[in-house]
C-alpha cells in the first residue's frame, strides 16, 4: 500500500530537512521578560497606505517600548499582484518616518538570524512543514477544478449552506495517497489543503490584546495552504513565519479577525504556541457623497496614501503624532502636556486602544502638525523645510539657499518664546506667508492692488507712510518704544490712540492707531496680515523699508 509518508516523499523529494532542523536553524529568541517581537509584513503591491503606516508604527512602538525586536517581512506570495520595486519603496518610506527595522528585509539586502525575510525565498521552509503535515495526514493534495469549485458554490448557495471547502464538500479529502499520486502522474494540477478537524457548531475563545476575549466559530474549512505556483497562502505563511521568526505579538488590521480561527487551528495542529494577537482598528472616512463611514480608499481619498502627506510637507512627526491619537485615547491629553516630547516617551497601551474604526480627521492632523512646526527650533525647522523643498518646491529651496541665516531669522519670528507663533500646518504653507520678505517677490506682489482700507484717503496713507519712514529709528527703538512712537505718529495724522474714544466718535478721526499700523503693514507686506510688525521691520531694514514705501507712494 502507498502510504501518506510515501506521498509526502513523492510530492517533495527535494526536501530533506525536518522540523527539528528548522527549530535548530531558527532557535527561540532570548528575550527580556515582557519583550515583544513584532513585525510589519506588507505585500509589495503599491504605495504605503496610511493604514499600513499606522500598523507599522504600532508594531514598532510596542517592540521598542518593551526592549523587544521589530522586523520587516515582505509578503510576496501573491506574485500576480506584486509591483516591482515597491518593497524597497515601502522600506524607504517607513525610514522616512523613523521606523527602521532591527532585522528583516531592507529593500536591497536582508539582515538577521531568521532570514530569509522575503516569503518567496522561503519556499523550501514551507515545504518542510507541509511535508510533515502530509505525513501526519493533516494536509492533502486537492485536484478540484475551477468548474467543480463553482458547482460546489452554487449548490451551497441554493441550499443556503455555509460556503467553502469543508466536510462532505471536501471531496479530495477522501482520495487515497495512491489515487493522489496517480492524478499527479497524470499531470493534473493541484493545490495542497489543510485537513481541518474543527466543527463549525463549536465555539472557541480567543484572546485579543485590544478586544479582550472573543468567541469565534471553530474553523472547519480545509483551506489551501500551498498553491499550484509552489508558494503558500497567507494563512500558512503566517503560521510558519511567525513561528520560526519568533513573533510573539501580531499586530494587524481587524480584517484578519475573520480568519483568526483558522490560524488558531493551524498553530494547535503543529503544537506551536500561537502569538498574542492585537487586531487594530481600520482607519475610516466619512464619504462625501453618501455621508456614510467607509474605509479609506486608495481611489477616492488622497490621504489614503502616505505620499500625500509627504508631498504636502506635513512634518513627519506631526503625522506620527496624529496616528498616535488614533491609537490611544489618552495620547492627545499627553501631547497637550508634552508638546515638545517625542512619541517614544509615550507608553502605548492596549487598554487605551480605541476600538471603533477611527475616523481620519484632517483638521486634527493640521492642528497637530501646526503645533509640531511651531515648537521646532529654527534650525530643525529649516533643515526639514529644506529637505522637503528640494523635492517639492523650487521657490522654498531658493528662499533657503539665497541666505540661510536670513531664512532662519524670518521663520524665527515669535518662535523662541513660551507660546510660539503657529503659522504653518505644513511646509507647503511657508512660501505664501514669507514671500513678501524677499524684495523681488515683494515687487511682484505689487502688481495686484494693495488692500488698503477704502475709507482712508490716499493722501492720508501717503502722509502716514512718509512720516513713518522719516521717524523710524530702528537702531534705538525696541518693540515697546516703537509701538509708542506709532501711537504718537497716529495722533499726528488724526488716528485716535484710544479705541473706546474712537468708537464713540469715529467720524472725527481717520481711524484709530491700529488702522495706522495697518497702513504700514499693508505697504510693507502687501497683505493685511503679517507676523509681528516690529520683527518684520528689523528684518527688512531701513533701506528696504524706504524703498518699499517710495514704491507704494508712487503707485497711489
Using CB under 6 A as the criterion, which residues of the chain lie in contact with ligand GLU when the complex forms? 41-43, 75, 238, 250, 252
Nearest distance in Å: CB 250, ligand GLU: 6
Nearest distance in Å: CB 75, ligand GLU: 4
Indicate the residue among 56 and 192 with the shorter CB distance to ligand GLU: 56
Sequence-ordered alpha helix ranges (H) in 340-457 = 362-374, 378-392, 394-402, 404-411, 430-434, 439-445
C-alpha grid cell, residue 327: 491609537
C-alpha grid cell, residue 413: 519670528
Indicate the residue among 60 and 452 with the shorter CB distance to ligand GLU: 60
- Tell me which H or E stretch contains 261: helix 260-270
Nearest distance in Å: CB 195, ligand GLU: 23
Nearest distance in Å: CB 233, ligand GLU: 11
Instruction: Tell the residue number behind the cell numbers 532557535, with chain if given.
Output: 27
Nearest distance in Å: CB 228, ligand GLU: 20
Nearest distance in Å: CB 43, ligand GLU: 5
Nearest distance in Å: CB 77, ligand GLU: 9
Indicate the residue among 247 and 425 with the shorter CB distance to ligand GLU: 247
* DSSP at 168: G
Task: Region of 107 please: left (phi>0), alpha (psi -120 to 50) or beta.
Answer: left
Q: Which of 53, 444, 11 is nearest to 190 (CA)?
A: 11
Q: Which of 19, 27, 9 is nearest to 269 (CA)?
A: 19
Contact of 289 with 76, CB cutoff 8 Å: no
d(CA 228, CA 239): 19
Pairing of strands 249-253, 224-226: unpaired
Contact of 495 with 513, CB cutoff 8 Å: yes
Nearest distance in Å: CB 82, ligand GLU: 12
Indicate the residue among 42 and 116 with the shorter CB distance to ligand GLU: 42
Indicate the residue whose CB is closest to ligand GLU. Answer: 252
Indicate the residue among 43 and 312 with the shorter CB distance to ligand GLU: 43
Contact of 283 with 358, CB cutoff 8 Å: yes
Indicate the residue among 55 and 510 with the shorter CB distance to ligand GLU: 55
Provide the angle, in degrees to the nearest 10, between the axes of the packed helices 513-525 and 479-492: 110
Q: Which of 264, 211, 221 is nearest to 242 (CA)?
A: 264
Kindly provide the residue ranges of all beta strands, DSSP E only, lying in 262-384, ordered along the sequence: 276-280, 284-286, 293-295
For the chain, the farthest-separated pair of C-alpha atoms sits apart, in whole angstroms, at: 115
Provide the sign of the torsion angle of the four alpha carbons 138, 143, 149, 151, taken in this order: negative
Indicate the residue among 43 and 384 with the shorter CB distance to ligand GLU: 43
Strand partners, 193: 140, 224
3-state secondary structure of 190: coil
Vertex 202: Cα angle to 196 and 208 (nearest 5)? 90
Nearest distance in Å: CB 40, ligand GLU: 7
Indicate the residue among 280 and 310 with the shorter CB distance to ligand GLU: 280
CA within 13 Å, CB half, 459: 2
3-state secondary structure of 359: strand
Nearest distance in Å: CB 103, ligand GLU: 16
Nearest distance in Å: CB 208, ligand GLU: 14
Indicate the residue among 134 and 250 with the shorter CB distance to ligand GLU: 250
- Tell me which H or E stretch contains 205: strand 203-208
d(CA 344, CA 538): 39
Indicate the residue among 74 and 552 with the shorter CB distance to ligand GLU: 74
Rounded alpha-carbon distances, angstroms, from residue 133 to 125, 184, 246, 272? 13, 18, 21, 13
Indicate the residue among 238 and 370 with the shorter CB distance to ligand GLU: 238
How many of the other CB atoms lie within 10 Å of CB of 231? 18
Nearest distance in Å: CB 234, ligand GLU: 6
Indicate the residue among 193 and 279 with the shorter CB distance to ligand GLU: 279
Indicate the residue among 252 and 493 with the shorter CB distance to ligand GLU: 252
- Tell me which H or E stretch contains 48: none
Nearest distance in Å: CB 304, ligand GLU: 15
Amino acid at each position: 500500500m502507498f502510504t501518506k509518508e510515501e506521498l509526502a516523499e513523492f510530492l517533495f523529494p527535494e526536501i530533506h530537512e525536518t522540523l527539528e532542523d528548522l527549530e535548530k536553524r531558527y532557535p527561540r529568541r532570548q528575550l527580556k521578560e515582557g519583550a515583544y517581537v513584532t513585525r510589519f509584513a506588507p505585500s509589495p503591491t503599491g504605495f504605503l497606505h496610511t493604514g499600513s503606516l499606522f500598523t507599522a508604527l504600532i508594531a514598532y512602538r510596542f517592540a521598542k517600548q518593551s526592549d523587544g525586536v521589530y522586523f520587516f517581512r515582505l509578503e510576496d506570495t501573491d506574485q500576480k499582484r506584486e509591483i516591482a520595486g515597491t518593497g524597497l519603496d515601502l522600506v524607504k518610506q517607513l525610514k522616512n518616518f523613523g521606523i527602521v527595522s532591527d532585522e528583516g528585509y531592507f529593500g536591497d539586502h536582508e539582515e538577521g538570524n531568521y532570514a530569509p525575510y522575503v516569503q518567496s525565498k522561503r519556499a523550501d521552509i514551507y515545504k518542510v512543514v507541509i511535508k510533515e503535515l502530509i505525513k501526519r495526514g493533516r494536509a492533502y493534495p486537492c485536484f478540484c477544478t475551477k468548474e467543480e469549485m463553482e458547482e460546489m458554490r452554487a449548490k451551497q448557495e441554493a441550499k443556503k449552506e455555509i460556503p467553502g471547502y469543508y466536510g462532505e464538500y471536501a471531496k479530495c479529502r477522501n482520495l487515497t495517497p495512491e489515487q493522489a499520486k496517480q492524478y499527479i502522474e497524470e499531470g493534473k494540477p493541484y493545490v495542497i489543503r489543510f485537513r481541518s478537524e474543527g466543527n463549525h457548531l463549536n465555539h472557541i475563545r480567543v484572546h485579543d490584546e485590544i478586544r479582550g476575549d472573543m468567541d469565534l466559530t471553530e474553523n472547519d474549512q480545509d483551506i489551501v495552504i500551498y498553491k499550484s505556483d509552489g508558494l503558500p497562502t497567507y494563512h500558512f505563511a503566517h503560521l510558519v513565519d511567525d513561528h520560526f521568526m519568533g513573533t510573539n505579538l501580531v499586530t494587524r488590521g481587524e480584517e484578519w479577525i475573520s480568519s483568526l480561527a483558522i490560524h488558531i487551528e493551524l498553530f494547535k495542529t503543529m503544537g506551536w504556541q500561537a502569538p498574542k494577537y492585537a487586531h487594530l482598528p481600520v482607519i475610516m472616512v466619512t464619504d462625501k457623497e453618501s455621508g456614510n463611514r467607509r474605509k479609506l480608499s486608495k481611489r477616492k481619498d488622497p490621504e489614503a496614501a502616505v505620499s500625500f502627506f509627504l508631498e504636502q510637507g506635513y512634518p513627519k512627526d506631526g503625522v506620527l503624532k496624529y496616528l498616535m491619537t488614533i491609537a490611544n485615547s489618552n495620547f492627545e491629553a499627553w501631547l497637550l502636556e508634552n508638546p515638545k516630547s517625542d512619541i517614544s516617551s509615550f507608553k502605548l497601551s492596549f487598554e487605551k486602544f480605541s476600538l471603533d474604526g477611527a475616523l481620519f480627521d484632517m483638521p486634527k492632523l493640521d492642528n497637530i502638525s501646526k503645533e509640531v512646526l511651531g515648537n521646532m527650533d529654527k534650525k530643525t525647522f529649516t533643515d526639514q523645510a529644506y529637505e522637503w523643498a528640494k523635492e517639492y518646491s523650487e521657490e522654498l529651496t531658493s528662499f533657503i539657499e539665497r541666505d540661510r541665516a536670513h531664512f532662519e531669522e524670518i521663520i524665527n519670528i515669535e518662535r523662541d518664546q513660551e507660546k510660539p507663533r503657529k503659522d504653518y500646518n505644513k511646509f507647503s504653507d511657508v512660501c505664501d506667508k514669507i514671500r513678501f520678505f524677499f524684495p523681488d517677490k515683494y515687487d511682484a506682489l505689487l502688481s495686484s492692488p494693495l488692500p488698503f482700507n477704502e475709507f482712508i484717503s490716499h493722501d492720508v496713507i501717503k502722509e502716514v507712510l512718509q512720516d513713518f519712514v522719516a521717524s523710524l529709528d530702528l537702531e534705538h527703538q525696541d518693540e515697546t518704544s516703537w509701538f509708542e512712537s506709532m501711537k504718537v505718529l497716529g495722533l499726528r495724522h488724526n488716528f485716535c490712540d484710544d479705541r473706546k474714544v474712537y468708537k464713540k466718535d469715529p467720524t472725527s478721526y481717520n481711524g484709530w492707531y491700529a488702522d495706522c499700523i495697518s497702513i504700514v503693514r499693508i505697504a510693507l507686506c502687501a497683505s493685511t496680515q503679517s507676523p509681528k510688525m516690529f520683527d518684520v521691520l528689523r528684518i527688512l531694514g531701513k533701506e528696504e523699508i524706504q524703498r518699499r514705501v517710495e514704491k507704494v507712494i508712487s503707485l497711489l
